[in-house]
Amino acid sequence: MRAKPLSWRVLARLLRRSVPPSNLDIVVGDLLEDFRRDRLRIGRIRAEFHVALGALSIARSYRRAAVDRHHPHGSSAQLVEPMWRDVMNAWRRLAQTPLLTVVAVVTLALGIGANAAIFSVMDAVMFHPLPYSDPNRLFQLWSTHPDGLRTLSVGAEAVRDWAVRDDVFSNVEPYVQNSVTLMTDSGARQVFSARVGGGLMAMLGVRAQLGRRIEAADTQPGAEPVVVLSDGLWRQVYGADPTILGRRVGIDAAVSTVVGVMPPSFRFPFSRQQLWQPLPPASTRPTGRAPNYFVLVRLAPGLTRPLAQTRLDAANTSNRAPGRPAGSRITIESPLAGRVAGSTRQTLLILMGAVGLVLLIACANVANLLLESAWSRAREQAVRIALGATRGRLVRTSFFESAFLVTLGGIAALLLATWAVTIVRPDLPADLTALGPSVVEVNGDAVLFTGALLIAAVVLCGTLPALRTSAGAVTGMLQSGGRSLTLSRSHTIVGGTFVVVQLAASTALLTGAMLLIHSLIHVVSVNPGFDVRGLVAIDLVLPSWKYPTPAAKEMALDRIGDELRRVPGVREATLTAGIAPTGGGLTAARAVEIDGQGVVLADRTLYIPVTDVDPNFFATLGIPIARGRAFDSSDRANAPLTTIISESLARRFWPRENPIGGRLRLAADAPWYTIVGVAGDVYQFDIAQTHGGYAMYFPRSQATDIPTQPTLVFRASGSLTAAIGSMRAQLRGMDPELPIQSISTVEDLYGQFFSGSRFYAALMSGLAFVGQVVAAIGLFGVLASLVGRRRRELGIRLVVGASPSQVVRLVLRHAAGLCVIGLGAGIGLGIVIGRPLRAVLVDVSPADPWAYVSVCVMLALIATAAAWIPAHRAARIDPVRSLRFE
């Protein structure tokens, strides 16, 4: 049966007195649904509009009378029921546009999820409070030297001074880190240890899961040696034996009793600490100088940090401890200040800025989609306003629509962030932080941060589309008789602005990723300076309790070298104090002096790698000797001191001269060394700096200190696995109590050295890819919408003689203009954010032109691809249908 005319149905409902005023909006909603479903001709729609306008005045009078009758004094139902209907109306709109909903939710999930994942890492590293009792009153003591150098090391004199005073600190507890030899059933094992003051564990407030903690009585002279195990060591070595308490274990030359096992969450001061021992009272060394400690303190009750620092400065000035240099200062700082290394902090801030750009791109994209959706419903909004809906109601509905999208996107973002953190967690360094665990997880703080992002996203995504709902559109819509409104200039500008913002943010993000990728390519392609294939490094430990004198250590090293050179499968072997990329030692270039030139370098922030090596070190590793000679038997202990420097160091101080025969020393009170050779550069420690190739080598026979942790380097002639097994068996046969700290190939060492650069480059590239996908979707959506809105105009152009190719060029020209503006703004933004990347780039300038050129070409191709489909669709518009459209 044919439905009654729309006007009759509207009037019948409006004039029915049984309809309460609160249901008037339902009538209006039904009216709108009828407009969408009924396929009426233009003339009939015009007539229905006039009828609706007449019904409007009747409805408004009826509503005023009904409100006075049903709610003479007003009621909250007048607000609650319309708001609930606005919520349901917004939900129906999203359900009617599933493609827009899915695209918007996925876009927001990517943007918010990336932010939540990176924030979870930052929260664990930089913001999460220490898991100790009253952490806000815990502070770390820092020493500031007269030359400005700051260290965490504090002299024992200061510890004794402040331990007896209670006007500043209620607890003063020192600790040190070291490594010890643990005797197990499978042989000697080198483990990381920490010696702590008797009250430190009690001050932290963490209880042992088995037994007890280190106590003050354990640090007194004559006390029985005790040890507390970590949960990991207890499980790995002792199989989580519940009867471990009371067992006596060999640690170095002593036997200690196990008195406790700490819980898994206790990782003080680093995650690598596997056992804790008592720290005895400070004793003066044979040199007359007391040792230095790390010191953790708790402020006295009622004392603030500024007041404590004032009292500390006053006491430091009036009663300086013996041996403390003038101008030195002890400061109190939160443990969080020194909890993470500066490079890690800067990298995380860079990544947070990158995900912020991703969120900006996502919000711009969703706001653009909602704006286009609002414009496509301009007729519907006009009808609502004509039937009495206020602008506030329309704005509220628009915000509810944005809130639904953002909420769905936020739920998906938390799931995405949880998945991303699970994937990324194994690649993160184990020791991201000090003084507490660095457990990366999507916790309550991350949820709160995500909630804040959701509120910001609702505002960013919903404000402009809501404000574009204007009552001024009614007159134009009604006068047009229902035809599509002409695309306004403001609409074009707003849509284009969103595209420009997305392209600018994408350009900056992709530029940062490209710079890191270029840096990574350079890093992995850098020649280490020697042939790493077939090289194996074994880090040994010569414990002082077993080898108490330098002569005993020297004899042990000579024996180890002679025995291992005869192992099958070993072609060459050498002993050294360490091997690149992180082995050996470092010396501060505080006063590098060249004989005849004076001090040529004075920079405490510059550290030069120094290594004691055997004469066959360069031949075994394959490091070329560019000038002079390698070490030989003439470099004896009683001969003049000699050194070999790297080519970078030679170019720095002897740019036009031959350095062979020259003399230099590293400090005014250091001995002179004669240069006998110049070796090829070996990149190690910090290759991101211009001094990455600086190095100095000294003959091991002239070393004053025999290394307690030497490195045995050998080159295998066959299978590395077989050679490593033979070498391990030979070492165990020589000395079962000789600890082997690690065995690894040099290729693996360099792989681990570059893992951070790979990780950050991959993460930045992933963020850039997400940004590009979101920007491409946004560009395609805006251009497609603009083409749809200009359908009537393009049809007229085709009618009056424009060719399809001209229409394509018209659309592409508009897209090209937006692309040029967006790329220009993005290049400027990329230069600004590229400066912080300087610290993590290796031989790549933040203003690298190739990075910007490649990014511009890539984005131009993406923009062209995104614009081509709408342009091709515009060229195929049927002029007749476009003129009869709507």
pLDDT grade for 429, boundaries at 50, 70 and 90: low
Cβ 227 vs Cβ 275: under 8 Å: yes
Question: Are the C-beta atoms of residues 81 and 22 closer than 8 Å to each other?
Answer: yes
The answer to whether residues 739 and 540 touch, using CB atoms and an 8 Å cutoff, is yes
**Does 660 score more than 90 pLDDT?**
yes
Average pLDDT over residues 684-698: 68
Determine what percent of the chain is predicted with pLDDT higher than 90: 8
Q: What is the mean pLDDT of residues 607-611?
A: 84
Question: pLDDT band at 668, cuts 50/70/90?
Answer: confident
The Cα-based distances of 726 to 41, 453, 570 in angstroms read 92, 58, 9
Whole-number pLDDT of residue 524 = 67
Query: Which of 366-370, 377-381, 739-743 is predicted most confidently?
Result: 739-743
Rounded Cα distance between 434 and 418, Å, is 24
**What integer best gives the mean pLDDT of the chain?**
75
The pLDDT, as a whole number, for residue 149 is 63
CA-based nearest residue to 387, from 819, 111, 27: 27
How far is CA 502 from its chain centroid? 23
**What are 257's strand-pairing partners?**
226, 248
Compute how many other C-beta atoms are within 10 angstroms of the C-beta atom of residue 655: 7
User: Alpha helices, DSSP H only, in 662-745?
Assistant: 720-734
Angle, CA of 725, 714 and 648, to the nearest 5°: 145
Cα–Cα distance measured from residue 81 to residue 232, given in angstroms and rounded to the nearest whole number: 59
Torsion angle, CA of 152/156/159/164, rounded to 10 degrees? 180
User: 881 by DSSP, 3-state: which?
Assistant: helix
For range 430-435, the mean pLDDT: 63
Cis geometry, peptide bond prior to residue 581 (ω within 30 degrees of 0) = yes
Mean pLDDT throughout 562-578? 80
Compute CA distances 747 → 527, 538, 581, whole Å: 12, 13, 10
Q: Is 124 exposed, middle or buried (0-12, 13-18, 19+ CB in 10 A)?
A: buried
Choose between 390 and 568: higher pLDDT.
568
- Cα(245)–Cα(768) distance, integer angstroms: 53
Averaged over 225-234, what is the pLDDT? 93
Angle at alpha carbon of residue 738, lines to 734 and 739, rounded to 5°: 140
Helix (H) or strand (E) holding 744: strand 740-745
Map residue 377 onto helix, strand or coil. Answer: coil
Distances (CA, A) of 31 to 27, 81, 82, 383, 566: 6, 19, 17, 9, 96
pLDDT at 689 over 60: no
For 402-424, what is the mean pLDDT? 83
DSSP 567-607: STTEEEEEEES--TTT-SEEEEEEEEEETTTEEEEEEEEEE
pLDDT confidence band for 604 (50 / 70 / 90): low
The band of 805, judged by pLDDT with boundaries at 50, 70 and 90, is: confident
Q: Which tokens go with 371? A: 């704006």
Low-confidence winner among 114-123, 486-495, 634-643 (lowest mean pLDDT): 486-495
Instruction: Compute how many other C-beta atoms are within 10 angstroms of the C-beta atom of residue 665.
Output: 18
Q: Is the pLDDT of residue 843 over 60?
A: yes
pLDDT digits over 709-727, tens only? 788 888 887 777 887 888 8
Report the distance separating Cα 656 and Cα 644, nearest Å. Answer: 18
Residue 729 CB partners (closer than 8 Å, separation 6+): none
- Identify each DSSP E strand in 199-279 by its residue range: 210-211, 226-229, 248-251, 254-261, 275-278
Work out the pLDDT band at 275, boundaries 50, 70, 90: very high
Query: Does 400 have pLDDT greater than 70?
Result: yes
pLDDT of 736 higher than 80: no
Residue 588, φ and ψ in degrees, nearest 5: -75, 135
Q: From the CB of residue 80, how many other CB atoms can be counted at a distance below 10 Å?
A: 11
Q: How confident is the model at residue 392 (pLDDT cuts 50, 70, 90)?
A: low
Over residues 441-451, the mean pLDDT reads 82
- From 1-10, 647-656, 672-681, 864-873, the region with the lowest mean pLDDT: 1-10
391: tokens are 């602008």
Residue-wise pLDDT tens digits, 475-522: 444 444 444 444 455 566 766 777 788 788 878 878 877 887 777 777
259 pLDDT higher than 90: yes
124 vs 631 pLDDT, higher one: 631
Contact 515, 848 (CB under 8 A): yes
Assess contact for 168 and 188: CB atoms under 8 A. no
How distant is the alpha carbon of residue 497 from its chain centre?
30
Residue 180 corresponds to which tokens in the numbers above? 């010890």
**Cα 482 to Cα 45: distance, rounded to the nearest angstrom:** 7
Looking at residue 262, its pLDDT comes to 93
177 vs 253, higher pLDDT? 177
Q: What's the CA angle centered on 752, arms 749 and 753, to 5 degrees? A: 85
Task: Please count the other Cβ atoms lying within 10 Å of the Cβ belonging to residue 651.
Answer: 14
pLDDT for 387 equals 63
Q: What is the pLDDT of residue 81?
A: 53
- Range among 142-156, 609-623, 692-706, 838-852 with highest mean pLDDT value: 609-623
- Which one-letter amino acid corresponds to residue 455? I
User: Given this model, what pLDDT does residue 11 score?
Assistant: 43
Q: With a cut of 60, say whether residue 537 has pLDDT above it.
A: yes
DSSP 143: E
CA atoms lying within 13 Å on the CB side of residue 369: 30
Query: Is the per-residue pLDDT at 257 higher than 90?
Result: yes
From the CA atom positions of the chain, what is the Rg in Å?
37
pLDDT of 247 reads 92
What integer is the mean pLDDT of 174-198?
Answer: 85
**Which residue in 730, 770, 759, 776 sits closest to 870, CA to CA?**
776
Cis, peptide link before residue 269, omega less than 30° from 0: yes
Average pLDDT over residues 346-357: 77
The per-residue pLDDT for 674 is: 93
pLDDT at 276 over 90: yes
* Residue whose C-alpha is closest to residue 646's, from 594, 611, 671: 611
Give SS3 for 414. helix
Dist CA 859 CA 774 (whole Å): 12
Q: Which H or E run includes 82?
A: helix 77-96
